[in-house]
Chains A and B, each alone.
Chain A
Amino acid sequence: MMAVKKPPITTREYWAPGHAACAGCGPAIVMKLATKAFSEAMEEKYGDPNAFAIVHATGCMEVVSAVFPYTAWKAPWIHVAFENAAAAASGVEAAWKKLGRKGKILAIGGDGGTADIGLQALSGMLERRHNVVYLMYDNEAYMNTGIQRSSSTPYGAWTTTSPPGKYSIGEDKPKKWVALIAAAHQVPYVATASIGDPYDFYRKMKKAASVDGPAFVQVLAPCVPGWRIPSEKTVEIAKLAIETGLWPLFEIENGDFHNIKFQRFPKDGKFKKPIEDYLRLQGRFKHLFKKPEAIQELKNQIKELWRILGKEVELP
């Protein structure tokens, strides 16, 4: 009698359907997988898969999921404000400590609520070594307010506040990597991930939930309307980001920048797919194809990013 195949992720559910996320929403996939991964880690560590609470910043995922009188969440969950998820999470963690409640706190924010307005609170939480995982779902702009640029918006991207035009290439600043800022706090665990490799993301969430102390995970989660992509291509594009070298997958533990662990890194440092394959599928980069020098600038930035991470790469 053959045993029935089991899925590689738990079938426990903490994210219920009926929420108002767009069809094909990348961050929605993140919400589902992150909570499942967290519960697996809590079960392994404390014998209780439910031993966690979520503190969630204002943003797309918060707004589509917790609308009085309904909620998509099946774990204890709180939303306070836009920029303070990490601070509120610090308070919840402290309360749980005093209540003797075992488990870990999961703070969630988009790049909107984290990279800019939320950076102070994030830094404070990490520096004080709270037992919190901060998960930043990165759709690379302030999506909930209608696609305005954030410091996480990549070079060349169209957003409503960085529109290409006669005098503009679109976003003209290189992407700020919050993961590296987090790693500089020398916290136990920092990782980048992408829903293009969901099981890598799942493993990293579990790891982040399992370590003692603060952790930070930055996961690429494409936005259908914001990136101007067809809804079925969300995961495919998030995978291309990895395969083209544009989105480094790595883990940094205790701020050890000299011993970064990489995932999906081609052995010879030669990425197989050109960044153009990634850009071509997205309306937000359409205008770049009239400006090949802009695409070259983007490639230079990506090469430089890898060099800072300690790797020489070749980008086709």
Chain B
Amino acid sequence: MPMRKVMKGNEAAAWAAKLAKPKVIAAFPITPSTLVPEKISEFVADGELDAEFIKVESEHSAISACVGASAAGVRAFTATASQGLALMHEILFIAAGMRLPIVMAIGNRSLSAPINIWNDWQDTISERDTGWMQFYAENNQEALDLILIAFKVAEDERVLLPAMVGFDAFILTHTVEPVEIPDQEVVDEFLGEYVPKHAYLDPARPITQGSLGFPAHYMEARYKVWEAMENAREVIKEVFDEFEKKFGRRYHMIEEYKTEDAEIILLTMGSLAGTLKDFVDKKREEGVKIGAAKMTVYRPFPIEEIKALAKKAKVLAILEKNVSFGIGGAVFADASRALVNEKEKPILLDFILGLGGRDVTFEQLEEVVEISKKALEGEKVEEINWIGLRKEIL
């Protein structure tokens, strides 16, 4: 019988790690994800998780140790956020390039400067080029589930890429919600053991990992990572299907809410999706033809699903907690790429909000709708809009 407990997002992530039975966890504390390694070390100390927990001296060493462990042929896991993830940056590319199915939980937090410990997506978004798959959780249940899903997709022979699962700092990491903890036996059936086929450090079969790639070979190695990420699209859908069969919860690349006859669709990721659903309900009562969509998988970017979603809307408003200076939000840029050659596409608008833990309120969402309505009526509006700025202190 699956257990139901109330727990913080961090705990849910730690439970997911426990259920996945990694053999090596190497983690370093950072707000807001610290509780993840803390909880895991409790599991290990009490013998509830049979793993080596390496108390590494930095996040760079955390991911390096995970690379070593995964390359040696075992399941490896870590957790971090913000500056810690940024410190891992060079190794993230290496982990993907070496095709190691490491899974990492991220308590989505802003990047300095200024230093800020609260929620936005800048940390994981800034790693979108690395070759890591990216999943975003709307609530603590999703945080747990997506970590299990991430392991299964990552270890699939058609993929063999690492994956990160983001859940919002404090909004999810530290907020207590009811979570169903799946049975270990069912997780064992779903995940099985990691049996490395390509990467191992076994004296009986000595191989060389991390070789140098001359110009004559480097591009093909990178193409194989590209292929793997493309394969991931199919594999993720298969795993979502299997997850529903085993655990009864259904995940989508993009989950839609009241989009059938919507003129304006609000697209976001993470916990904000929950707020949007409530907001959409309210607006629908007022007679506004509005819907919401939640992107669960950000890498690989769900191109076909965005195309399908776009067909339903006249205005696609992207609400995102990140910004790429000099151009705008990353999801907006990626969605624009998905739709760039479509003969017919909706008006795409970018709304930058919630940075550094600023609460996204219904008032701010009203502003989003106002601007979207103006665009709907043919008025000229800005493509990139910063919502919720305290103009009085600017």
Give the complex CA separation of A84 and B87 in angstroms: 13
Once the chains bind, are B64 and A78 in contact (CB under 8 Å)?
no
Interface membership of A262, Cβ < 8 A: no
Q: Chain A: interface secondary structure?
A: mixed
Residues of B within 8 A of A81 (CB): 64, 90-91, 94
Give the complex CA separation of A97 and B69 in angstroms: 10
Residues of B within 8 A of A84 (CB): 60-61, 64, 91
Interface membership of B207, Cβ < 8 A: yes
Task: For chain B, give the interface size range.
Answer: 35 or more
- Contact residues, B66-113 vs A (CB, 8 A): 66-74, 76, 90-91, 94, 98
- Which of A3-11, A22-30, A60-68, A206-214 touches B? A60-68
| With A84-B60, A84-B61, A92-B68: A97-B52 Cβ-Cβ less than 8 Å | yes
Chain A nearest CB, measured from B100 CB (Å) = 10
Interface membership of B210, Cβ < 8 A: yes
Chain A nearest CB, measured from B255 CB (Å) = 36
| With A68-B213, A73-B206, A76-B206: A91-B72 Cβ-Cβ less than 8 Å | yes
Once the chains bind, are A91 and B69 in contact (CB under 8 Å)?
yes
- Contact residues, B188-247 vs A (CB, 8 A): 200-214, 217, 221
CB-contact partner of A51 in B24, B203, B211, under 8 A: B203
| With A87-B65, A88-B65: A79-B209 Cβ-Cβ less than 8 Å | yes
Interface membership of B359, Cβ < 8 A: no
Q: Chain B: interface secondary structure?
A: mixed
Chain A nearest CB, measured from B225 CB (Å) = 14
- Contact residues, A94-108 vs B (CB, 8 A): 94-99, 101, 103
Chain A nearest CB, measured from B206 CB (Å) = 5
- Which of A121-129, A147-155, A227-235 touches B? A121-129
Interface membership of B183, Cβ < 8 A: no
Most chain A Cβ neighbours within 10 Å, of B98, B202, B213? B202
CB-contact partner of B64 in A56, A66, A80, under 8 A: A80
Interface string of A100-141 (1 = CB under 8 A from B): 010100000000000000001101100110000000000000
Residues of B within 8 A of A124 (CB): 56-58, 61
Give the complex CA separation of A127 and B50 in angstroms: 23
Most chain A Cβ neighbours within 10 Å, of B26, B51, B61, B73? B61
Once the chains bind, are A90 and B201 in contact (CB under 8 Å)?
no
Once the chains bind, are B64 and A63 in contact (CB under 8 Å)?
no
Interface membership of B54, Cβ < 8 A: yes
Interface membership of B258, Cβ < 8 A: no
Interface membership of A53, Cβ < 8 A: yes
Chain A nearest CB, measured from B116 CB (Å) = 26
Give the complex CA separation of A81 and B24 in angstroms: 20
- Could you write out 30 A-B pairs with CB less than 8 Å apart? A52-B203, A62-B212, A66-B208, A67-B212, A69-B211, A71-B211, A73-B208, A75-B203, A76-B205, A78-B208, A79-B209, A80-B67, A80-B68, A81-B64, A81-B91, A87-B61, A88-B68, A91-B24, A91-B65, A91-B66, A91-B72, A94-B65, A94-B68, A94-B69, A96-B72, A98-B23, A99-B72, A101-B202, A120-B57, A123-B57
